[in-house]
Amino acid sequence: MARFHDVLIVGGGHGGAQTAIALRQNGFAGSIAIIGDEPEPPYERPPLSKEYLAGDKTFERLHLRPEAFWRDRAIDLVLGARVDFLDPTLKQVVTTGGERFGYGALVWATGGRPRRLDCEGGDLAGVHAIRTRADVDLLRSELPAARRVVIIGGGYIGLEAAAVLRKFDKSVTLIEAQHRLLARVAGPTLSRFYEAEHRDRGVDVRLASTVSRLVGAEGRVNGVVLASGERLAADLVIVGIGVAPAVEVLRQAGALGTNGVLVDDRCRTSLADVFAIGDCAARKSRFSPTAVRIESVPNANEQALTVACELTGRERDHDAPPWFWSNQFDLRLLTVGLSDGFDVEVVRGDPATKSFSVVYLREGRIIALDCVNAAKDFARGKSLVANGVLTTPGLIADVNIPLP
Amino acid sequence: MSKIIVISRDGEERAIEAENGLSVMEAIRNAGIDEIMALCGGSCSCATCHVFVEAGGETLPPPEADESDMLEASAYRRENSRLSCQLTVSSALEGLTVRVAPEE
């Protein structure tokens, strides 16, 4: 016999947890369960590459809600279980342990799995990802004995990890395949700024550089060989080269999508009564003319609220622009909008002061801002992006003139 | 532990026991009050833990620039607005009364 829940949520991350919380807030009285493949109740992931890695916050402080909360709200947590089959006709999922769960509505919120290096040596001991608490606990346990760390990937995860490790005075080399850092998510000005900051603080940044293999002894990594032939000694390797959306089960069940699973503006997949949210869902919005996956906590939360409203018959018209934050050293980056496809970038303020913003325009409209130690611009920028405000570079470059 | 009084959006008043050293945001969240989203987990990046300090805040240090800048974007900013993630619970805050700000 399958256990039945009116709403069954697969994935115990930010999106899954927020769906359940918001359903109860909206007065949903049906049964709710969250199936998560990690042993812990839902917790915050962003600190994993920041305060938790640095040891500044204990795990107890990362819980999204205290354990009693889930009980009190009658939200069943099925932890340490992974769903590996979906039957959309019977409306059931099956876990790897063979347990069946029936649903009225299914919310797929599984996020993604860190991409692994597919080169030789990628599976040696001492090669780490940063996605789960278990990943970071293992990484931290090996840190004291490590002096030389090689980080592969110059995205936010890699850069945040580099910042923490420099604080611990590790020797850090960061390898990025593109010609600049953050190439996928930011414009060249921001890339150059972060490159200079990381170099200033002793990170050996290698751009346009790829890994050909990892080498080791007795099953443990001790070096990274670059395509150039150069060999870097490494006591520890951190791989931050993005995530692959965890949607195989949905796709096998027939859900459409090429990058993740495709959802409509209400986060419905092509399967009846199956929603998808967060890192694994590709959606069009007024901020992106093509369906994109956005890997961020605010996006997962936003989509969770959309689904919770849809399931409780509430209108939810406001669709906040995507936003994101990253803390590295004493630099607090706040970003709003999606800069992809910009045609002009306007630098507002002087990067040398370490407080400035980059405003991205497309056809004269503001589509995104990256604000470094400039929370005021970010706060203002949210509505500029939401409204797609028309402007000219001259109006926004001068920090002495407030943003429109 | 210090006692903090939280007034929710529907006006309900609750006294909660808050652990010294945690932020007021964490204390509110740990007490099972779910009106505070605290999306960024307390890194002063989102303003979803906005509260009004109604009483007992005399010993609180004034907001730093970041907090003030984030609050500036709120449609509901008042003189007594604070981001609860930036307030640290201590015995000096015994009896602090905060009201959860409206949802943006």
Side chain identity at residue A225, one-letter code: V
| Pair A322, A313: CB distance under 8 Å | no
* Fold annotation for A116-239: FAD/NAD(P)-binding domain (3.50.50)
Section A40-69 average pLDDT: 95
Residues contacting A63, CB < 8 A, separation 6+ = A40, A41, A42, A43, A44
pLDDT over 70 (residue A10) = yes
CA quadruple A302, A332, A211, A218: dihedral, nearest 10 = -90
DSSP state of A280: G
Give the pLDDT score at B75: 84
Q: Where in chain A is the domain with CATH 3.50.50.60?
A: 3-113+243-311, 116-239
- The per-residue pLDDT for range A100-126, each reduced to its tens digit, is 999 999 999 999 999 999 999 999 999
Sign of CA dihedral A146, A152, A157, A159: positive
Segment (H or E) for A306: helix A297-311
Interface probe for A, chosen from B17, B33, B45, B50 (most Cβ of A below 10 Å), is B45
pLDDT over 80 (residue A223) = yes
Average confidence score pLDDT of chain B: 92
pLDDT over 80 (residue A394) = yes
* Beta-sheet pairing, A274-276 with A100-108: parallel
HEC string of chain B? Answer: CEEEEEECCCCCEEEEEECCCCEHHHHHHHCCCCCCCCCCCCCCCCCCCEEEEEECCCCCCCCCHHHHHHHHCCCCCCCCEEEHHHCECCHHHCCEEEEECCCC
Interface probe for A, chosen from B39, B66, B71, B88 (most Cβ of A below 10 Å), is B39
pLDDT higher at A318 or B18: B18
| Pair A105, A7: CB distance under 8 Å | yes
- Give A236's strand partners: A149
Domain limits at B26?
2-100
Q: Residue A173 is encoded by which pair of tokens?
A: 């080399």
Q: How far apart are CA B4 and CA B24, in angstroms?
A: 8
- Establish if B20 touches chain A: CB-CB under 8 angstroms: no
- The per-residue pLDDT for range A227-279, each reduced to its tens digit, is 999 999 999 999 999 999 999 999 999 999 999 999 999 999 999 999 999 99
- The per-residue pLDDT for range A323-336, each reduced to its tens digit, is 999 999 999 999 99
Name every chain B residue with its beta carbon within 8 A of the beta carbon of A323.
Answer: 46
Q: Where in chain A is the domain with CATH 3.30.390.30?
A: 330-396
Considering only CB atoms, A297 lies closest to which of B29, B39, B66, namely B39
Give the pLDDT score at B46: 84
Residues contacting B33, CB < 8 A, separation 6+ = B6, B8, B14, B16, B100
Nearest-Cα residue of chain A relative to residue B28: A65
| Helix count and strand count (H, E) for chain A | 10, 25
- The per-residue pLDDT for range A164-221, each reduced to its tens digit, is 999 999 999 999 999 999 999 999 999 999 999 999 999 999 999 999 999 999 999 9
| Pair A167, A143: CB distance under 8 Å | no
Nearest-Cα residue of chain B relative to residue A378: B70
Q: Which one, of A2, A4, A22, A1, lies nearest residue A109 by Cα?
A: A22
- The per-residue pLDDT for range B28-52, each reduced to its tens digit, is 999 988 888 888 888 888 888 999 9
Name every chain A residue with its beta carbon within 8 A of the beta carbon of B66.
Answer: 332, 375
- The per-residue pLDDT for range A271-300, each reduced to its tens digit, is 999 999 999 999 998 898 899 999 999 999
pLDDT over 80 (residue A317) = no
- Which letter, b or e, does each residue of A242-259 get, where b requires 16 or more Cβ atoms within 10 Å of its Cβ? ebebbbebbbebebebee
CATH homologous superfamily for the domain A330-396 = FAD/NAD-linked reductase, C-terminal dimerisation domain (3.30.390.30)
Q: Residue B102 is encoded by which pair of tokens?
A: 């409206």
Domain count, chain B: 1
Percentage of residues in chain B with pLDDT exceeding 90?
Answer: 72
- ipTM here: 0.91
Average confidence score pLDDT of chain A: 96
Half-sphere exposure of A72 (CA within 13 A, CB side): 12
For the domain A3-113+243-311, what is the CATH code? 3.50.50.60
Give the pLDDT score at A318: 66
- The per-residue pLDDT for range A304-315, each reduced to its tens digit, is 999 999 999 998
Name every chain B residue with its beta carbon within 8 A of the beta carbon of A44.
Answer: 41
Interface probe for B, chosen from A43, A60, A61 (most Cβ of B below 10 Å), is A61
CA quadruple A167, A168, A173, A178: dihedral, nearest 10 = -40
- The per-residue pLDDT for range A128-153, each reduced to its tens digit, is 999 999 999 999 999 999 999 999 99
- Establish if B75 touches chain A: CB-CB under 8 angstroms: no
The residue behind tokens 């833990």 is B49
Q: How far is B66 from chain A (nearest CA, A)?
A: 6
Contact criterion met (CB < 8 Å) for A25 and B66 = no
- Establish if B80 touches chain A: CB-CB under 8 angstroms: no
Phi, psi of A216, rounded to the nearest 5 degrees: -160, 180
CATH number at residue B60: 3.10.20.30
